[in-house]
Structure 1
Amino acid sequence: MIIQNESKTQEIKQNMRGGHGNVEITHITDSEILGKNCRLFAQITVKPGDSIGEHQHTGEQEIFYFLQGKGMVVDNGIQLQIGPGDVMVTPDQGSHSVVNTGDEDLVFMALILNENV
């Protein structure tokens, strides 16, 4: 199966999870392809100064793979700087947030896997 770029869907979320500004979400696949084990596979773009607010995951885990830009994350209460090539894994019952602290877009892949399937 090939998913061509023009078939991907995009959405903009304002003040995502209590964060600031707009977050662009490009869905790589839809729920029919993902199946019951995966809730989200997407490329996320956070503009300079914008953020995704701190939130908890319940019954699922989320993995971020950072591709471009610089940012600050809070991972279960611990604040860390991130950049290209870094990975953040938020387990079931874990919490996280992301802020773009750089001068360019912060771009990362996000994968949410359901725990109890």
Structure 2
Amino acid sequence: MKRKIVLKELPETKAEAFKLLFVKDILTSKDNDRISFHYCRMQPGGEIADDRHECIEVYYFLKGTGKAKVGGQILDVAPGTVVCADSNEYHSVMNTGTADMEFLAILSPPYA
């Protein structure tokens, strides 16, 4: 497993499955079998549409404002907010603000 990762040195890729979302993969299933960890940047109007999978997913919001929906409950998100989605629970994230939203996504077991 990687011992030191410098975020600014990681490549940022467009998440093709989602609207206006760009991701830096910090840890993936290539690194370990327990967790994946991603830095996400979502532009205004961006969205991770309703999604569900076998893993637990936790979002920690760093910048920007928006909404998250987990299990049908709509939640306001801002810096310092943590949102958790259980295994196979529908969840989504929307940037409703006027600036980029930045957040960390942690998934266990790893999704990517």
TM-score, normalised on structure 1? 0.82
Task: Please point out which of 50, 53, 58 is paired with 1:54.
Answer: 50
Following superposition, the deviation at residue 3 of structure 1 comes to 1.9
Instruction: Give the drift of 1:62.
Output: 0.5
- In structure 2, the partner of 1:71 is 66
Change in 2 beyond 3 A, CA 1:113/1:30: closer
The separation in 2 between residues aligned to 1:93 and 1:15, in whole angstroms, is: 18
Aligned-pair Cα RMSD in Å: 1.8
Name the structure with the higher helix share. 1
5+ residue gaps, structure 1? none
Code of the aligned partner of 2:16: Q
AA aligned opposite 1:109: L
With normalisation by structure 2, the TM-score equals 0.86
Matches within 5 A, 1:1-117: 1-5=3-7, 7-16=9-18, 21-33=19-31, 35-38=32-35, 40-58=36-54, 60-114=55-109
Partner SS, residue 50 of structure 1 = strand
Identical aligned residues as a percent: 26
Aligned-residue offset at 1:8 = 1.9
Where structure 2 has 5 or more consecutive residues not aligned to the other structure, the ranges are none
Amino acid at match of 1:57: H
Structure 2 CA distance for aligned equivalents of residues 67 and 6 of structure 1: 15
Number of residue pairs the alignment of both structures matches: 108
Give how far 1:48 is off: 0.5
